[in-house]
A and B are shown apart, each in its own frame.
Chain A
Amino acid sequence: MVRYIVKRLALLAVTLLGVLTLTFFVSHVVPGDPARLAAGVRAKPEQVEALRKRLGLDRPLWEQYGRYIAGVVRGDLGESIRTRRPVFADLAEYFPATVELTAFAMFLCLLIGIPLGVISAVRRESVIDHVSRVTSTAAVSMPTFWLGLLLQLLFFRWLQILPATGRLGFYLSPPAHVTGLYVLDSLISGNWTALGDSLVHLVLPGAALAASSMAVITRMTRSSLLEILSLDYIRTARSKGLAERLVILKHALRNALLPSLTVIGLQVGVLLAGAVLIEVVFSWPGIGLYAVQSITFVDFQAILGVTLITALVYSGVNLIVDVLYGVIDPRIHY
């Protein structure tokens, strides 16, 4: 097991290096002069040259690459030319917002997806089952960002009960910084106004982001539960006269959810990817929005930073899922 994890971690390091190399060279052929942009479009040529030198952009590409990788190893992600501060500081500011949004969406997925899947399986071919199937197919066919726009139109424009953008209401200050997740921070500091308000702001983007993953989780729960329910030991349990509720919750569901772990893990990646567009639609100040802004500004260091952190989370989740799978399922040995 330990050897397996070590091997995976080593592979992860190689992959990350590859990701950085790929992004580095792709982003450095983007048309546009970063020194000119950093100095301001109206800066005089000498100012631009001075800044180019200071940012090391006058060096050959290979040297810049070497310096960058060396910096990353030391934990230095360079300086953003757009926000004019270390990329690390930017990520520390924007990433928690994405984590909060993704976690909330995942929470919705599990909270609604699993029970719905269970009901659909238990009451097979019932109205609920059919409705859930139709909605699931619809949900995966819908562009996430369009769903977001529709929700804004409905709940913000017409019903006027939910805010459309941002993490907190106007003139409210964020809770004291601990984790950067407003919901957690406001709980910790007992700031109930901020708690309510940040939850309110999570509803629409969270729901839009969750929709398609929720559909996948519902369908998956349903099919694996159905499979388990047809197995012998469930029949035995039923024949022993156990209450149906107990059979499903205690025996079937637990075993049905084990194989779902991979699917749920994969959905973390899906949510993270979907967050890019949702953040744009809802002006959610997370790394997706940061990435889009950085790309149009040809902010190399920022783009690289975002890529690094996303790749880390992506691969990290995969690794955790694989390891957990081995821990839970005794048949798998590494």
Chain B
Amino acid sequence: MRIRFACCLVALLGVLAVSAIASTPADTLVVGVVEEVTTLDPAIDYTFGSGPLFRAAYERLVTFNTTSGKIEPQLALSWEVSEDGKFYTFHLRQGVTFHDGAAFNAAAVKTAYDRVMAINEGPAWMLTSYVDSIDVLDDATVRFTMKTYPFVPFLRVLSSYWGMCIASPTAITQNAGDDMGKTFFRNHIVGTGPYKLVEWVEGQQMVFERFDGYWGGWAGNHVKRIVLRKVLDTTTMSLLLERGDLDIAYGIPLDELTSLNGKPGVVIGVHDTFTTNMIAMNTVKGPLADVRVRRALSYSFDYASAMEVFAGYTSPLIGQIPTGMPGHDETLPHYLFNLDVAKQLLEEAGYGGGLTLEYTWVTEEPEGRRIGVLWQDALRKIGVDLKVIEVTVAGHWDRVSNIETMPDLANYRWGIDYPDPSSILVPLYHGDSVPPAGYNLSRFADPRVNAVLDESGKEADETKRLQLLAEAQSLLLTGASNIWITAVPVTVCMRSNVQGYVFEPAAFSSFNFYDIYKQ
């Protein structure tokens, strides 16, 4: 009996060994992703998880070219902005159809955006804050009337994939139900993009297939199917890529990349995003209300060692705007690690005898743990006891939105809504952006900063605008509202036969699927 049992076991293991080996089909691109997708509704979704799917299946009026820093046509071929910035008129691409056969035209743009504004959840503020009305001038022309004008970055706002994806008007009206189509669009994607959604196993995978009626046509090299495979456990990803289970692996932890070094058939890619990691200092309550203490802390942070938290793949942030984004300025002054200066400043502020501070980091932004512990170890040497506390997203928001519970120091990430410096500076440092209205966690309120930021939103001249932004940044550095650490890098590793991928820091979690192919 025992022998028979053992035989069975061996046979079973044999079967397992054979079936565990796999490689991806030639016309299919298998992408391992890590971010969560909870709704497919472009009017509601406001997460990084939607990047890849929205770019596969939806399109926007315009897109942002990171290399040139320019706005480029997608569904709009050209546009005019009125002298006072009140009207934006778009001339639309003709001969475009949605996945359900509906025609793309001016009415479709109005229907899609009106729905986003009516639902008024998630990303809708990017339209409702600026747009007063959308009018169909003729079948191929649509006009936006602005609420507040001039607002210079508006075209960049329209290039965001949050809220700006245009869904089929037929699908919208036919499935409106009593909830403006929320139930339908939670599970369906009906856009004009090159690929259409054919299967969604929640929490596991999404399958897209080529949309034959795509206006761009299918000449040249393209893949037929795209599988977005959710990899819950990022640690296993490097091995999956190595074995060929994945064509592209997005989000392999930086520390795991060493295991891929020199592996045949694998191309390692690490890119800086427009998402920044920083530590907000409580500028209104507690010891950090004193700017000398804030400067002392700015000097006590070991910027170089902190880069090791990102496996050395990035460099310290200069100013508040990451490299590659308009407004980034290499010439701005910055703090350097110097415990002696830090100690001296603390003594001047009357904290020579020591100090206890609270530091929080967010579970979902794991670099905060190591940054905190690293800093804690350095601060020990100058008599500062740093309490490192882990909080969930929910707990974090709860603490920071109330000044009574706001910790002395809060580590957090900020990802941009649209590729413009105003998407960093205004929500994070404008005096009107104190939570819950915005994300000015440090409660930094400098009237000059406010004035400069307000002005920069109206300044159409790019050179003058950049000057204003530089001024705002140096004021922030002097005021030491935060400790600015770095732009958060992401890893996009792929098999060497995958061609045509271009990284876009403004939409870092997404892929230019239409241009990607396998050799």
Instruction: Please say whether the chains A and B touch (CB closer than 8 A).
Output: yes
- Give complex CA distance A152, B392 in Å: 28
User: Do A42 and B439 form a contact, CB below 8 Å, given A83-B38, A163-B20?
Assistant: yes
Say yes or no: is A258 at the interface (Cβ < 8 Å to chain B). Answer: no
The minimal Cβ–Cβ distance linking A197 to chain B, given in whole angstroms, is 6
The minimal Cβ–Cβ distance linking A24 to chain B, given in whole angstroms, is 17
Contact B436 A32 (CB under 8 A): no
Within 8 A of A (CB), among B438-481: 439
Chain A residues with CB under 8 A of B30: 170-171
Say yes or no: is A44 at the interface (Cβ < 8 Å to chain B). Answer: yes
Instruction: Flag the segment in B197-205, B349-357, B487-495 that touches A.
Output: B197-205
- Give complex CA distance A297, B395 in Å: 9
Instruction: Flag the segment in B10-18, B98-106, B144-152, B306-314 that touches A.
Output: B10-18
Say yes or no: is A259 at the interface (Cβ < 8 Å to chain B). Answer: no
User: Do A45 and B16 form a contact, CB below 8 Å, given A39-B121, A165-B236, A171-B28?
Assistant: no
Say yes or no: is A230 at the interface (Cβ < 8 Å to chain B). Answer: no
- Give complex CA distance A32, B398 in Å: 5
Chain A residues with CB under 8 A of B15: 196
The minimal Cβ–Cβ distance linking A259 to chain B, given in whole angstroms, is 25
Contact A33 B394 (CB under 8 A): yes
Chain B residues with CB under 8 A of A1: none
**Residue of B whose beta carbon sits closest to that of A295:** B392
Chain B residues with CB under 8 A of A169: 22, 245
User: Do A157 and B46 form a contact, CB below 8 Å, given A34-B394, A37-B394?
Assistant: no
**Residue of A whose beta carbon sits closest to that of B227:** A171
Q: Give A131-164 as 1s and 0s: 1 = Cβ < 8 Å from B's Cβ atoms.
A: 0000000000000000000001000110011111
Contact B39 A84 (CB under 8 A): yes
User: Do A47 and B20 form a contact, CB below 8 Å, given A32-B392, A170-B229?
Assistant: no
**Residue of B whose beta carbon sits closest to that of A203:** B16
Contact A196 B245 (CB under 8 A): no
Say yes or no: is B217 at the interface (Cβ < 8 Å to chain A). Answer: no
Contact A50 B439 (CB under 8 A): no
Contact B363 A296 (CB under 8 A): yes
- Give complex CA distance A283, B28 in Å: 24
- Give complex CA distance A34, B395 in Å: 10
- Give complex CA distance A152, B46 in Å: 34
Q: Give A87-116 as 1s and 0s: 1 = Cβ < 8 Å from B's Cβ atoms.
A: 000000110000000000000000000010
Contact A156 B239 (CB under 8 A): yes
Q: Of A50, A93, A164, which is within 8 A of B233 by CB?
A: A164
Contact B16 A33 (CB under 8 A): no
The minimal Cβ–Cβ distance linking B508 to chain A, given in whole angstroms, is 17
- Give complex CA distance A289, B392 in Å: 16
- Give complex CA distance A168, B394 in Å: 32
- Give complex CA distance A296, B365 in Å: 13
Say yes or no: is A285 at the interface (Cβ < 8 Å to chain B). Answer: yes
Say yes or no: is A183 at the interface (Cβ < 8 Å to chain B). Answer: no
Say yes or no: is A219 at the interface (Cβ < 8 Å to chain B). Answer: no
Say yes or no: is B420 at the interface (Cβ < 8 Å to chain A). Answer: no
The minimal Cβ–Cβ distance linking A56 to chain B, given in whole angstroms, is 16
- Give complex CA distance A324, B394 in Å: 46
- Give complex CA distance A163, B243 in Å: 11
> Do most interface residues of chain A lie in helix, strand or loop, or is the interface mixed?
loop
- Give complex CA distance A83, B93 in Å: 35
The minimal Cβ–Cβ distance linking A314 to chain B, given in whole angstroms, is 24
Chain B residues with CB under 8 A of A174: 201, 204
Chain A residues with CB under 8 A of B239: 156-157, 160
Say yes or no: is A190 at the interface (Cβ < 8 Å to chain B). Answer: no
User: How many interface residues does A have (CB within 8 Å)?
Assistant: 54
User: How many interface residues does B have (CB within 8 Å)?
Assistant: 59
Q: Give B81-122 as 1s and 0s: 1 = Cβ < 8 Å from A's Cβ atoms.
A: 000000000000000000000000000000000000000111
Q: Of A47, A161, A296, A297, which is within 8 A of B124 by CB?
A: A47
The minimal Cβ–Cβ distance linking A263 to chain B, given in whole angstroms, is 23
The minimal Cβ–Cβ distance linking A92 to chain B, given in whole angstroms, is 11
Chain B residues with CB under 8 A of A239: none
Q: Give B192-214 as 1s and 0s: 1 = Cβ < 8 Å from A's Cβ atoms.
A: 00000001011111010000000
Q: Of A39, A163, A283, A298, which is within 8 A of B122 by CB?
A: A39
Say yes or no: is A323 at the interface (Cβ < 8 Å to chain B). Answer: no
Chain A residues with CB under 8 A of B236: 152, 156, 164-165
Chain A residues with CB under 8 A of B395: 31-32
User: Do A43 and B122 form a contact, CB below 8 Å, given A37-B394, A84-B186, A297-B393?
Assistant: yes
Say yes or no: is B24 at the interface (Cβ < 8 Å to chain A). Answer: yes
Say yes or no: is A167 at the interface (Cβ < 8 Å to chain B). Answer: yes
Contact B398 A173 (CB under 8 A): no
The minimal Cβ–Cβ distance linking B342 to chain A, given in whole angstroms, is 32
Contact A166 B204 (CB under 8 A): yes
Contact A170 B38 (CB under 8 A): no
- Give complex CA distance A93, B393 in Å: 25
- Give complex CA distance A169, B205 in Å: 11
**Residue of B whose beta carbon sits closest to that of A297:** B394
Within 8 A of A (CB), among B329-354: none
- Give complex CA distance A169, B239 in Å: 14
**Residue of A whose beta carbon sits closest to that of B199:** A173
**Residue of B whose beta carbon sits closest to that of A298:** B394
**Residue of A whose beta carbon sits closest to that of B182:** A84
Contact B120 A50 (CB under 8 A): yes
Chain B residues with CB under 8 A of A40: 46-47, 121-123
Say yes or no: is B246 at the interface (Cβ < 8 Å to chain A). Answer: yes
User: Do A173 and B231 form a contact, CB below 8 Å, given A33-B397, A40-B46, A165-B236?
Assistant: no
Contact B233 A165 (CB under 8 A): yes
Say yes or no: is B174 at the interface (Cβ < 8 Å to chain A). Answer: no
Closest 10 pairs between A and B when the two form their complex, measured CB to CB: A32-B394, A283-B232, A40-B46, A298-B394, A161-B17, A283-B233, A296-B392, A31-B398, A171-B227, A40-B122
Q: List 10 A-B contacts (CB under 8 A).
A: A34-B394, A36-B436, A42-B439, A47-B120, A47-B125, A50-B120, A164-B236, A167-B204, A174-B201, A298-B392
13 more CB-based (< 8 A) A-B contacts, given A33-B398, A40-B46, A165-B232:
A32-B394, A32-B397, A33-B394, A42-B427, A82-B38, A85-B186, A171-B24, A171-B229, A173-B201, A174-B201, A196-B15, A197-B19, A285-B204
